Chain A
Amino acid sequence: MSSRRKFLQTGVSAGVFLFDIVPARALGLQSQPAPSDTINLGHIGIGGRGRQFLRPEASLGQKIPAPLNLGGDGTRMQTAARSVALCDIDAQRLDEAATRVGGRPKTYRDFRRLLEDKDVDAVVIGSPDHWHALMTIMACQAGKDVYVEKPACNTIEEGRAMVNTAGRYGSVVQIGSQGRSQPAAYHAASYIRNGQLGRVSQVLCWHYASPQGDWTPDAEPPSGLDYDMWVGPARWLPYNARRTHGAFRWMIDFGGGQIRDRGAHVMSIANWIMDCDHTGPVSIDASGDPPSDGMYDSAVTMRVVYEFKNPDWTLVWAQPGEPSAEIEARYGAVYHGDKGRLTVTLGDGQNTATDQKVKDYRAPIDGVPVYRSPGHIEDFLDCIKTRAKPIMHMEAGHRVASLCILGNLSFQLRRKLEWDPVAERFKNDEEANRLLSRPGRGPWHL
């Protein structure tokens, strides 16, 4: 009997286990990935946003800079990855994506068939919001790592279920709030976390209002579109072109307005800078106006005040809000500290900006370290190999989506809500607690 086996048996029978005697790495079991590994991607939802992640066959083996709109500083080359499988409920979009990729990608209409495909290592989910949670959970169940567009989920329950499932399988999940991977956001995080603004007591986000919408008659779905699958777990509504591709985000059932679309970028950076990826506010107070007419039902104008405790600070989402006096941009956030203020604009693309003095700042060697992402998709692909947590990991994504959801709930209920960020329940509000979940339709359940 080998000494190792003897040791194991002795340890077990004694009821103790001397881990330090046989550390894994001491056994020479280094788990560094081979740099030549190519990651096979499957893409679910390849319309407007989803198609931007496609890796054409022709690009394989070439040195191509990682796309700047996904963050990074422009020095990183793309990790070897190829799009081997594509899925969309719209036949036309599927054909277009297959042409764009080139080669012979496998194509699917039902995402479950793509998830069954053993050639696929990881999936990129670019579906409408109401599908994010179930597709992510089911992808983890199928053994895939997941890059899913923001915001992570449509309900608090969905987000927690995503966290639990990713944790159960040890899946790598990156949420597509790529602002964290922008150099400007990194510099601002390093600057603020190292106390250069003093104690930050307020973060004021500004954005423009959502569209009012109009009336477009319902119609038969176009041929080639599997509309029942498009609706999936959400409430059934007749097909309407102004509620589906692209425009879904103005409907609470499928999206939820600017606070979810852009709030999931701007508030993602805020949560990261304020080191709140593990927690949430204790109260949420929203006001504003919904569309007075038309099909849409998400807020047109909106102001949401979130109060955080320990440390105490306030986050405000305002559409429209007070733009930064320092840097002109359509949206962003101003961080107010007792030693000054700082603007970080946008949060979703390559134009994210902040002050030059912040970019020039270098944290002291014993300062607070801040992780610097090589770019959002590259960070994800790196983590697939190392099994490390990506910069916008599942818990962070859930907490940011929670801000969006809580803001919309306070807006809908037209009252201030008291929130327990540990139990993830409202205090003294039965109706609000019922809205933490949204039972699924047909076969689609968490």
Chain B
Amino acid sequence: MPSKEQFLTDIRSDNVEQRFAAWRSAAEMEANIIPDLGKIAATASSPGVAKAAREAMQTLVNSLGKEPSPKRAEAVRELLALASGHAPVPLRGLAFRLLSLIAGEDSVPAIAKWLTHAELGEEAAFCLERIPGASAIQALTAAYRNVNDSFKPRILAALGHRRAAEAAPICVEAMRSPNRDIALAAAKAYARIGKKSAVAVRWPDPAPLPEWQKLEHADSLLRFADAQREEGNHAEAMRLYKQMLTRPEPHLQCAAVIGIARIGTGEAAAAIFPMLQSKNRRVRITAEKAWNGMARSAAAKA
């Protein structure tokens, strides 16, 4: 292992190959090299030197990611300091990206406080979205109330992406927001989470939504129906699918037919049967396929 000084000299070298050899061997260095690499990345006049410093940080972090270790914990501390310090925003953004790979639950509070930052909120959300465990979900849920309205959909998207069941109540609440973007983002998150709320859910009214958001609204209902079906809540799933069967859009009817067929009961067959005579070819073929699939399944069971 080269000395810290030699390593940093190599990273700053004018010689491309010397820099390359240094950053490729960065895994051998201690984690306390990170602040120095951050300084080089922030101040180097040569883009090649700045790249070498960034790549060295990336290489070091990637070498620590497989499992927890004291060196990894130290790297996380150094990266948190870099992310929270006075470095240029792009470099702090890189620190958040690297933290997203190795930071654990104990780092969540230090990361979450940046969710309200105008320039780094996006990177903090990205980072929390990737950190496993309940702490990140709790932090995102708590932050929902503190961030600007314009950033609330981003927080809801993160919670939906995490399929965070504990975030379902806040989604149900946000679905009632008079802000259409928030209400729809909440519906999308709630559908992705897919857990039926104990309190009454009022899905946003699609009527005043622009065309694109109407499609997202319908997709959310279908996703939620699919999730309910997979949870074994066939009654709720069937109710939503039947609602979709009455829509004029052929692809929504198709999605309902496909979902209903997967329920596979007599009631499901009865719901699909009329669609075999649909005037729309896509719907008709989808219904035929669904019907035949149910028939094969019934025959196999018999």
Contact = CB atoms under 8 A, between A and B. Distances in A.
A294 B129 CA distance: 31
A169 B298 contact: no
Contacts of B158: 439
B66 A415 contact: yes
Majority-rule SS of A interface residues: loop
Contacts, number: 164
A16 interface: yes
B24 to A, nearest CB: 8
Given A14-B266, A19-B269, A413-B62, A170 B255 contact: yes
Contacts of A290: 55
B68 to A, nearest CB: 8
Nearest to B189: A445
Contacts of A387: 282, 285-286, 289
Interface stretch (A25-33, A58-66, A274-282, A345-353): A25-33
B231 to A, nearest CB: 16
B288 A31 contact: yes
Contact of B62 (A292, A385, A430, A431): A431
A24 B215 contact: no
Contacts of A413: 62, 65-66
Contacts of A8: 269-270, 273
A441 B124 CA distance: 11
Interface string A418-442: 0000000000111110110101111
B19 interface: yes
A235 interface: yes
B292 interface: yes
Given A31-B281, A439-B161, A12 B267 contact: yes
A61 to B, nearest CB: 22
A171 B251 contact: yes
A92 interface: no
A287 to B, nearest CB: 12
A386 B284 CA distance: 11
A253 B297 CA distance: 43
A24 B292 CA distance: 8
Contact of B295 (A20, A140, A386, A440): A20
Contacts of B67: 428, 430
A27 B266 contact: no
A432 to B, nearest CB: 7
Interface residues of A, number: 62
Given A11-B270, A17-B269, A143 B251 contact: yes
Contact of A168 (B65, B160, B249, B255): B255
Nearest to A12: B266
A364 interface: no
B176 interface: no
Interface in A111-162: 112-113, 115-116, 138, 140-143
A194 interface: no
A47 B265 CA distance: 49
A437 B158 CA distance: 12
Closest 10 CB pairs of A and B: A431-B65, A143-B251, A19-B295, A292-B20, A17-B269, A439-B129, A445-B157, A12-B266, A387-B285, A31-B285
Interface of A: 8-9, 11-12, 14-17, 19-20, 22-25, 27, 29, 31, 33, 112-113, 115-116, 138, 140-143, 167-171, 215, 235-236, 290, 292-295, 385-387, 412-415, 428-432, 434-435, 437, 439-443, 445-446
Given A15-B265, A16-B266, 12 more contacts: A11-B266, A11-B270, A17-B269, A25-B288, A31-B288, A169-B251, A169-B255, A170-B258, A235-B97, A292-B19, A415-B66, A434-B101
Interface of B: 16-17, 19-20, 27, 47-48, 51, 55, 59, 62-67, 93, 97, 100-102, 122, 125-126, 129-130, 132, 153-154, 157-158, 160-161, 211-212, 215-216, 218-219, 222-223, 226, 249-252, 254-255, 257-259, 265-267, 269-270, 273, 276-277, 281-282, 284-289, 291-292, 294-295, 298-299
